[in-house]
Amino acid sequence: MRSNLAARDVETLVHPYTNLAAFRETGPLVLERGHGVYVYDTDGRPYIEGMAGLWCTALGYSNEELVEAASEQLSRLPFTHLFSGRSHDPAIELAETLKELMPVPTSKVFFTSSGSEANDTQVKLLWYMNNALGRAAKKKIISHVKGYHGVTVATASMTGLPANHADWDLPLPGFLHAPCPHHYRGAEPGESEAAFSARLAGELDALILREGPETVAAFFVEPVMGAGGAIVPPAGYFEAIQPVLERHDVRLVADEVICGFGRLGTWFGSESLGIRPHTLSFAKAVTSGYLPLGGVSIDEPLYRAMLAESAKIGTFGHGTTYSGHPVACAVALKTIEIFRRDRIVEGVGAKAPHFQARLSGLADHPLVGEARGIGLIGGLEIVADKGSKRQYDPKAGVAARCVAFAQAEGLIVRFLAGDRIAICPPLVITSEEIDALFDRLTRALDRTLAWIA
């Protein structure tokens, strides 16, 4: 049954975010099982999962308590929904637990099955709210160039990456992009992080004024920009932009899909970076990636507007079959219980200095222009010339090559557009495993350098 998996894959599957033509030559990496921070391919080769899957498997790969929580719920009530007022205890308990944890005033929680659906829901709720408030023009959405918010028609419009727009007929009208807060690439020579932040806040102000504040509903931000390059915004950035948004009555939405649940050493990234959003989106680590679940926090003013609209129309016309899936909710509850009991968030704080020191050490490598991160997330930018920050021709695929060498060294990391490499291991990684991760990555960089020469 398991023979020829690679060949069968090529003939049957379409892979997300894959160069479909090149893939026909390279084929897949077929993984079979996982344990701790390791995953194993079908030949039994171990890899350190340096990306926690897709930024999600916070508790690692063999957590029996999560398996038991899923199994128990599957046996008891594998499915019921939340439509038309139907309910179940895992969803109620999870919503209560999340309300306690949220770093923002939260009246209610709405569940989805993914980060894309969570952000898509945010957009729709903003439109719904502004209609309820009689502000029919206030609908435009701003996000960052290089921001990542998902792949639905609305969220791919918010995403600020070329591959999500080119030939997809996106972004939709009404979706605007503010400059990327990446100091290494965006700052003028000699411009401090604080000055860069102030300049970007000025540019955001100008954008809102140009569009008309009465037409702009919200600004979506990731605390650390993940898929755009594991980019940590410069010092003072959120402090600088928040007064601008307040002045123009533009709501701030934090996309905590990656940073939520401990990644930066606080429960939510907003707490680490001084972000005071109106609402936030979460997904991924809420179940440690074991089952699909996402959602949004809803503040009281938004909830009141939703009440008014649904009373007028006769129903709240939004939701998917799996919104608040009971098995996913049960796994999320167990995930949070383990986080609290094992002090996972505090553990990230304790491990982060070592992780960040090893990351910063890579800045000395001839190929690395920038090595930057926070908590247990980091990004590297590969450059051809450190002084001028000149990059290799994208067609050379240098970061992709480095990621392939890392895989040969037994490490999974992810290359991102702009010759960047992301590192985002499970939060349960040990100090020794952090060393093994960076030793393997260093060898991969050395092999890349030798390959270029």
Closer residue to ligand PLP, CB minimum distance, 269 or 369? 269
Asked whether 119 and 110 are in contact (CB, 8 A), the reply is: no
Would you say 422 and 54 are in contact if contact means Cβ atoms under 8 Å apart?
Answer: no
If DSSP codes are grouped into helix, strand and coil, which group holds residue 307? Answer: helix
Q: Does 331 bind ligand PLP (CB under 6 A)?
A: no
Among 222, 299, 370, 409, the residue binding ligand PLP under the rule CB under 6 A is 222
**Least distance in Å: CB of 253 to ligand PLP?**
11
Per DSSP, helices labelled H in 49-114 are 52-55, 64-76, 89-101
- Six-digit token pair at 61? 């790969």
Binding flag, residue 116, ligand PLP (CB under 6 A): yes
Residue in the structure block whose two tokens are 């897709």: 54
**226 binding ligand PLP? (CB under 6 A):** yes
Applying CB under 6 A, the span of 62-70, 142-150, 183-191, 264-272 interacting with ligand PLP comes to 142-150
121 binds ligand PLP (CB under 6 A): no
Q: Minimum distance between the CB of residue 329 and ligand PLP, rounded to whole angstroms?
A: 16
Evaluate whether 143 touches 177 at the Cβ level (below 8 Å): yes
Could you give the CA distance from residue 222 to residue 119 in angstroms, rounded to a whole number? 11
By C-beta, is 116 or 266 nearer to ligand PLP?
116
141 forms part of the interface with ligand PLP (CB under 6 A): no
143 binds ligand PLP (CB under 6 A): no
Does residue 377 interact with ligand PLP by CB under 6 A? no
Q: To the nearest whole angstrom, how small is the minimum distance from the Cβ of residue 56 to ligand PLP?
A: 8
With CB under 6 A as the contact rule, which of the stretches 92-100, 146-154, 264-272, 445-453 interacts with ligand PLP?
146-154
Q: How far is the CB of 289 from ligand PLP (least distance, A)?
A: 10
- Burial category of 45 from C-beta neighbours within 10 Å (exposed 0-12, middle 13-18, buried 19 and up): middle
Q: In the beta sheet, which residues pair with residue 216? A: 140
Residues with Cβ within 8 Å of 198's Cβ and at least 6 positions away in sequence, in order, are 236, 240
Q: Is 375 in the site for ligand PLP (CB under 6 A)?
A: no
Using rule CB under 6 A, residue 149 touches ligand PLP: yes
Alpha helices in 296-397 (DSSP H): 300-313, 326-341, 344-361
Binder of ligand PLP out of 227, 296, 371, 429 (CB under 6 A) = 227
Total site size for ligand PLP, rule CB under 6 A: 15
Q: What angle do CA 220, 222, 228 make, to 5 degrees?
A: 110
- Whether the ω angle into residue 353 lies within 30 degrees of 0, i.e. cis, is no
- 130 contacts ligand PLP (rule: CB under 6 A): no
Judged by CB under 6 A, the chain residues 269 through 288 that form the site for ligand PLP are 283
| Residue least distant from ligand PLP (Cβ) | 115
Among 91, 142, 204, 257, binds ligand PLP (CB under 6 A): 257
Nearer to ligand PLP among residue 34 and residue 150 (C-beta): 150
User: How far is the C-alpha of 192 from the C-alpha of 212, rounded, in Å?
Assistant: 30
Is 57 near ligand PLP (CB under 6 A)?
A: no
The DSSP element (H or E) to which 187 belongs, if any, is none
Torsion angle, CA of 51/56/60/64, rounded to 10 degrees? -160
Binding site for ligand PLP (CB under 6 A): 54, 114-116, 119, 148-150, 222, 226-227, 255, 257-258, 283
